[in-house]
Amino acid sequence: MSLLQQTTASVESPASGEFLVVCLCAEWCGTCRDYQTGFDALAAEFPDTCFRWLDIEERADDLGDLDIENFPTLFIQRGERVLFFGTMLPHLSHLRRLIETFHEQTPEQSCDYVSSNPERSLWQDDQDLCHIGRVMRSE
């Protein structure tokens, strides 16, 4: 399977998931290739969450000015709010726990969370991050 393709467990309807998890990787990256199988399996554990795989080289136009230097880089969004954007060690248990934590939050708690830190606050107005969310939800 090409890294450009959506994960096999991806939710097909853009409106079907309140949460979006995007893994930004590259086909040439061995770590990414190894991570994808587990990422697909993790998607099956969270059927109410939309999981997408984005190959940063094949989809460079969708990244705008974002510079992805390390893999895997994860993007997690709840509705229009960016909850997480950054590199994570390629241990699926870390991503699983992060998703569980976000699922445990109420929408109000998520709103407080994104505004509780200057970096997270900046993510909300970053047009490139917002674009990724829109593009990945529409696929």
Residue 136 has pLDDT above 50, yes or no: yes
Beta bridge partners of 81: 78
Q: In the chain, what are the domain boundaries?
A: 19-138
Topology annotation, domain 19-138: Glutaredoxin (3.40.30)
Q: Write down the pTM of the prediction.
A: 0.87
Mean pLDDT of 71-99: 97
Range of lowest pLDDT (13-22, 27-36, 58-67): 13-22
Residue % of the chain over a pLDDT of 70: 88
Q: What is the DSSP string of 38-80?
A: HHHHHHHH-TTEEEEEEETTTTHHHHTT----SSSEEEEEETT
Whole-angstrom distance, CA of residue 118 vs CA of residue 87: 18
- 105-117 pLDDT, tens per residue? 999 999 999 999 9
Output the pLDDT for position 139.
87
